Each structure stands twice: as structure tokens, then as C-alpha cells.
Amino acid sequence: MLPTTRYDARRRVRGTLAFAILLAAFALLIIYLFPTIAESSADIDALIESLPESFREGFGAETYTTIEGFVAAELYQTVWVLLLGLYMAYAGGGLLAGDVESGRLYLVLATPVSRKRVAFEKFLSLGLPIVVLNVTMPLVVFAGTVAIDYPLDPYYLLIVHVLSIPYLLVCSGIGMALSTVLDRGDAAQRSALALLFLCFLLDSVTLGTDVEWLGAVSPTRYLDPTEILLHETVDLVDPLLLLLVAIVLVFLSLRYFQTRDL
């Protein structure tokens, strides 16, 4: 049952654990710094207010006077949304193109299995890092905030991670789409990184301008940890839209991969 998924998932275990440890260590470092930051948070908030709106909105920087605003800006808005999004796009870019380039995919397709099934099972293997990171990180973050006596609300912390899953699926889908179009694994991975980062920049620089609508193409616009953690606002429309986009990306990728020349 799902042999390709199991094989690819096993190959991702070491990298996923290493990434989870690095994220956890960084998260704990950020949380540990908050009591010191809180002492001068008023001055920092004044500095934030003087920054351009596009910068404040793009990095979710609203206030450092609360643990919610600090963690949302320093950890989730930058590391989780941007860095992890880039990681998943990079992983998606290596799903198929690398195997086509090396010739490994021809050996797999020599067995009685369809291209669609192989590609779909490979995509499912990306569920390993998504699940592991979204299970471990809220535990680490909550434990860290409790340890410094500034506990986050566990409900909204969990909501951030649940609603980030569709976003990470879209990032993975972008990488997979490029992996079906391009024949070289490194080219697909670099292209996925560049495309998602450009989308992030487009979203950031157009906020508050007359061309703000251009940033609507960026998946980063549809996940806002600051709104959830700081303002306790939960919007289910954006995650559902991201989930729909992820499904469309995967469907089109499978369809194209089924018919393209290898």
C-alpha cells in the first residue's frame, strides 16, 4: 500500500528531524529573549510604527509588548511562513525532476504502475515533514512560553499550525508543478525557491499601495499568524482557498506529467 510514499518518506526522516531540531532550537532562543525585549518594548514599538506599512505588514510586526506579537513577528511570520514555505517548495521541486534526470524514474515506471500514481505518492511523502513539524513546534513553543512565565494561548497557537497546513501544501504544489515541467532537479528546486520568494516580495511591497491587488497571487497573503495569535481572529476562507489552490496545482501537475514526454 503506497510503496512509493513509504520509500520517499523514509528518505525524508533524517532531514525532517534535523530541520525540526533546528526550528525548535531557534524558537526557544527567540522565546528566551522575550523577557529582555519586553523591558524596552515601548521603544521598539515606536520604532516599528516609524517603519513603512509594507514592511510592518509583510513581516507581521505590530507590537513587541506582548508575547503573542513578538512570537508572531519573530518566529511565525518570518521563519514559519517564509522559511518553511521555501523549504516545502524546494522539497516539492525535487519530487520528480531529479528522478527523471538521473533515470531512476524509468526503472519505477517499468513496473505496472502509472505515472499519476507515482507522482501522487511522491507528493504524499511531503506529508511527513508537514505533520512532524506541525506536531512538534506548537509543543516546543508552548513549553518555552510557559517556562519564561509568558504562556501563549494554546488554542490559538494550535490554530496557527492547523491553518498553516493548506499554505504548506500550496508551497509543495508549486514545487511539484515545476518538477513536472523541468527535467533537472536542481533547476526545479531553485525555480521553486525563486518563485515563492518573489511572490512574498510582491505581497510585501504592494501592501498599502494602489497595486495591492497584485500581491493576491502570493500564498503568503493568505496566512497571517499575527492576526491569529495577537488579535485572536480566525478566518477560514483563506485556508479553504489555499487548500483549493493546492488541489488544483496537484491535479494539473499529475495531468501534465501523465502526458508529457520523458
Structural domain boundaries of the chain? Answer: 3-259
Q: Mean pLDDT of all residues in the chain? A: 85
pLDDT at res. 100? 77
Task: Pick the most confident of 37-41, 64-68, 241-245, 254-258.
Answer: 241-245
Q: Tens digit of pLDDT for each residue in 49-108?
A: 555 555 555 555 556 778 888 898 888 988 899 999 999 999 999 888 877 777 777 677
Instruction: State the average pLDDT over residues 131-149.
Output: 94
Instruction: State the average pLDDT over residues 23-29.
Output: 93
- Pick 241 or 119 by higher pLDDT: 241
pLDDT at res. 1? 64
Where are the alpha helices (H) located in the chain, listed in sequence order?
3-39, 41-50, 53-58, 67-71, 85-93, 97-102, 104-109, 115-124, 127-147, 154-181, 185-206, 225-229, 237-259
Q: Is 45 exposed, middle or buried (0-12, 13-18, 19+ CB in 10 A)?
A: middle
Residues 6+ apart with CB under 8 A from 237: none
pLDDT at res. 152? 92
For 241, which DSSP code?
H
CA distances (Å), origin 35, targets 64, 70, 110, 149, 155: 10, 11, 59, 9, 22
pLDDT at res. 127? 93
Query: Among all chains, which residue has been given the C-alpha cell 526557544?
Result: 28
pLDDT at res. 85? 94
Q: Alpha-carbon distance 232 to 228, whole Å?
A: 4
pLDDT at res. 145? 94
Strand, coil or helix: what is 40? coil
Instruction: Give the range among 109-113, 135-139, 236-240 with minimum mean pLDDT.
Output: 109-113
pLDDT at res. 163? 95
CA distances (Å), origin 59, targets 42, 151, 153, 250: 19, 22, 21, 29
Q: Is the pLDDT of residue 190 over 90?
A: yes
pLDDT at res. 44? 59
CA distances (Å), origin 105, targets 99, 122, 173, 179: 5, 11, 19, 13
